Amino acid sequence: DAKTTQPTSMDCAEGRAANLPCNHSTISGNEYVYWYRQIHSQGPQYIIHGLKNNETNEMASLIITEDRKSSTLILPHATLRDTAVYYCIQDYGGATNKLIFGTGTLLAVQP
């Protein structure tokens, strides 16, 4: 079973920042937080991951709370093409790289 909880859906206005929350209260010290997204009719796409520090890449920023029990994915300037299901996953990695996907958050970017 997925170990994270996310809202089922969210709306965001085009051009505004989209802030997607995730609770991972059972996360252990060596588990990463990963974010993926899935645009309709496509395979999931990796966005970003973090362990303790905040992270930023060309797609998004990841803010992890100090106690690591929750995080927020930030899309700084959402576009219509960012409409997708966003998955937050906690995992320790290891040799087999297994991910357990929950049902994610459907982000609808509105024009």
Partner 1 sequence: DVKVTQSSRYLVKRTGEKVFLECVQDMDHENMFWYRQDPGLGLRLIYFSYDVKMKEKGDIPEGYSVSREKKERFSLILESASTNQTSMYLCASSSTARDGSYEQYFGPGTRLTVT
Least distance in angstroms from the C-beta of 78 to partner 1: 22
Q: Which is nearer to partner 1, 96 or 111 (CB)?
A: 96
Burial class (CB in 10 A: 0-12, 13-18, 19+), 108: middle
Least distance in angstroms from the C-beta of 14 to partner 1: 26
What does DSSP assign to residue 51? S
**How far lies 55's CA from each of 47, 86, 108, in Å?**
11, 17, 24
Structure token pair of residue 98: 């297994």
Q: Which is nearer to partner 1, 34 or 70 (CB)?
A: 34
Q: Which is nearer to partner 1, 13 or 51 (CB)?
A: 51
Q: Which is nearer to partner 1, 80 or 100 (CB)?
A: 100
In contact, 73 and 19? CB cutoff 8 Å: yes
Least distance in angstroms from the C-beta of 13 to partner 1: 27
The Cα 38–Cα 24 span in angstroms is: 20
Judged by the rule CB under 8 A, the positions of this chain that interact with partner 1 are 2, 30, 32, 34, 36, 41-46, 49, 51, 92-104
